[in-house]
Amino acid sequence: MNTITRFVTVVSLASLFPLSALAADSKGTVEVVHWWTSGGEAAAVKVLKDLVAKDGFTWKDGAVAGGAGSAAMTVLKTRVVSGNPPGAAQIKGPDLQEWGALDLLSPLDEVAEANGWDDLLSKTVIDTMQYDGHYVAVPVNIHRVNWLWINPKVFEKAGIDKAPTTLEELYAAGDKLKAAGFVPLAHGGQPWQDSTVFEALVLGIMGADGYHKAFIENDEATLTSPQMTEVFTALKKLASYMDDNRAGRDWNLATAQVIDGKAGMQIMGDWAKSEWTAAGKVAGEDYQCVPMPGTAGSYTYNIDSIAMFKLKNKGDIAAQHALARIALEPEFQYVFNQNKGSIPVRSDLDMSKFDSCAQASMKDFREADQNGQLEPSMAHSMATNLAVQGAIFDVVTNFMSEKNADPSKVGAQLYAAIKSAQ
Residues 394 and 415 in one domain: yes
29-43, 248-262, 314-328, 341-355: least confidently modelled range: 29-43
Residues 36 and 92 in one domain: yes
Which among 322, 338, 364 is the end of a domain?
Answer: 364
pLDDT of residue 309: 96
The reply to whether 324 falls in a domain is yes
Residues 264 and 336 in one domain: no
Helix locations, 138-271, DSSP H: 152-157, 167-179, 191-215, 220-223, 226-239, 251-259
Residues 52 and 157 in one domain: no
Residues 210 and 106 in one domain: no
Which among 319, 335, 364 is the end of a domain?
Answer: 364
Residues 226 and 245 in one domain: yes
12: left (phi over 0), alpha (psi -120 to 50) or beta: beta
What are the φ/ψ torsions at residue 339 (nearest 5 degrees)?
-80, -35
Q: Provide mean pLDDT across the span 407-412.
A: 98
Residues 264 and 308 in one domain: no
pLDDT digits (tens, 9 = 90+) for 337-374: 998 899 999 999 999 999 999 999 999 999 999 999 99
Q: What is the rounded distance in angstroms from the CA atom of residue 230 to the CA atom of residue 214? A: 14
The reply to whether 95 falls in a domain is yes
- List C-alpha distances in Å: 410 to 189, 214, 252, 381: 19, 14, 29, 22
Q: What is the rounded distance in angstroms from the CA atom of residue 313 to the CA atom of residue 112? A: 21
Chain length of the chain: 422
Identify the CA nearest to 120 among candidates 325, 304, 368, 337. Answer: 325
pLDDT of residue 43: 84
Residues 96 and 225 in one domain: no
Residues 210 and 228 in one domain: yes
Average pLDDT, the chain: 92
pLDDT of residue 16: 42
pLDDT of residue 292: 98
Q: What is the rounded distance in angstroms from the CA atom of residue 100 to the CA atom of residue 347? A: 26
Q: Provide mean pLDDT across the span 394-399.
A: 98
The reply to whether 154 falls in a domain is yes
Would you say 185 and 241 are in contact if contact means Cβ atoms under 8 Å apart?
yes
Determine the 3-state secondary structure of 31 from DSSP. strand
Residues 75 and 182 in one domain: no
10-19, 76-85, 339-348, 388-397: least confidently modelled range: 10-19
Residue type, 140: V
Identify the CA nearest to 22 among candidates 308, 316, 306. Answer: 316
The reply to whether 1 falls in a domain is no
Q: Pairing mode, if any, of strands 58-63 and 29-34?
A: parallel
pLDDT digits (tens, 9 = 90+) for 260-318: 999 999 999 999 999 999 899 999 999 999 999 999 999 999 999 999 999 999 999 99
The reply to whether 44 falls in a domain is yes
CATH of the domain at 186: 3.40.190.10
Compute CA 415 distance to the chain's CA centroid, rounded to the nearest angstrom.
23
The sign one gets for the Cα dihedral 288, 293, 297, 300 is negative
pLDDT of residue 13: 41
Q: Is the pLDDT of residue 11 over 50?
A: no
pLDDT of residue 205: 98
User: Which residues lie below 8 Å from residue 343, measured CB to CB, with a gap of 6+?
Assistant: 141, 142, 143, 144, 270, 337, 351, 354, 358, 361, 362, 365
Q: Which range of residues forms the domain containing residue 44?
A: 29-143+302-364
Which among 316, 336, 364 is the end of a domain?
Answer: 364
Q: Tell me whether residue 155 is exposed, middle or buried, using C-beta atoms within 10 angstroms of its C-beta: 0 to 12, 13 to 18, 19 or more.
A: buried
The reply to whether 409 falls in a domain is yes
Residues 136 and 247 in one domain: no
Question: Confidence band (pLDDT; 50, 70, 90) for 40?
Answer: confident
The reply to whether 5 falls in a domain is no
Number of domains in the chain: 2
User: What 8-state DSSP symbol labels residue 86?
Assistant: -
Q: Provide mean pLDDT across the span 317-325.
A: 97
The reply to whether 33 falls in a domain is yes
Angle at 392 between CA 191 and CA 6, to 5 degrees: 100
Strand order from edge to edge, sheet including 305-308: 58-63, 29-34, 88-90, 305-308, 137-139
pTM, two decimals, is: 0.89
Residues 122 and 96 in one domain: yes
